[in-house]
Amino acid sequence: MLLAADMTKNLDCSSRIRVQTVSSSLDAAGGRWGPVKTTDHQCPWWCMRLDSYNDPAVVLGGVVHWLMHVGDSFVLKADDAGEYILTYDVNTATVGSIDLPNDRQRANLEGSSSSGSSQLAASPDGKLSFIAVDQLVVSIWVLSSGGSWARHAVVDMEVEATMVLEPWEEERGIKLASFGDQRSGVVLLRLLGVDQTLYGIDMETKSKTFRTLDVDEDTALVPYEVDLASRLSSMKAF
């Protein structure tokens, strides 16, 4: 199924979500676009602001998940979180939300509103995962079938940073780089200031790997993960 979604921010702090899907060519609709379905959802007050944004969606079991972030221009109150998980169930055409892990339900977290400091992903067994960085530490939570978050791993990248950064370099941090199907169970990331080296954290073994990319330093690289095994298994034999 192919899905297209559009979110409109309203002045009453709600979001209007319009969704349209294309059914499989084997269905009665014959691969045509279905009707546009519209639903409203009350979101945090900062969702209506222009510099608030959301990450690419993660789709699991017919449910679309967006991680929304507060814009950099806002100062939040102590009881306001700067992230929000918005969901849309394709089968029931209903919108909802998922609570953040407890450790993320507070404002002014280190890097909590910075692009690349947190994202959603899918674990190898198809569960929703939440990944967040705090300076040089990567934390990974996995959502259980009962709807509660469990901290799956905490990985410190201090040793790796010390090996590649000079002692006088003050900017030390991590930018998450995973994008795509995200089913391999590997979290991709970069150290700030070291764009040509891509690090990976295996969610199952919690082991770390790295690969240095032989490209010009001015080249912009966007890692894109593809679940090749599932795509090959769905291909027709000729």
Report the percent of the chain where pLDDT is more than 90. Answer: 8
**What is the pLDDT averaged over residues 104-108?**
59
Which of 18-22, 40-44, 75-79 has the lowest average pLDDT?
75-79
Distance CA 142, CA 102 (A): 12
Cα gap 185→207, rounded to integer Å = 11
Helix, strand, coil abundance in the chain, percent, nearest 5:
10, 40, 50
Looking at residue 149, its pLDDT comes to 94
Task: Say what the pLDDT of residue 20 is.
Answer: 87
At residue 112, the pLDDT reads: 45
CA dist., res. 92 & res. 134, Å (int):
37
pLDDT in tens, 164-173: 776 666 667 8
**pLDDT value at 99 more than 80:** yes
pLDDT tops 50 at residue 113: no
The Cα 148–Cα 168 span in angstroms is: 42
pTM score, whole prediction: 0.78
* Span 30-65, pLDDT tens digits: 678 888 888 888 888 777 667 778 888 888 888 999
Q: Cβ(176)–Cβ(119) under 8 Å?
A: yes
- Greater confidence (232 vs 140) lies with 140
Average pLDDT over residues 85-96: 90
Lookup: tokens for 46: 């900062």
By mean pLDDT, which of 83-97, 102-116, 197-211, 222-236 is the weakest? Answer: 102-116
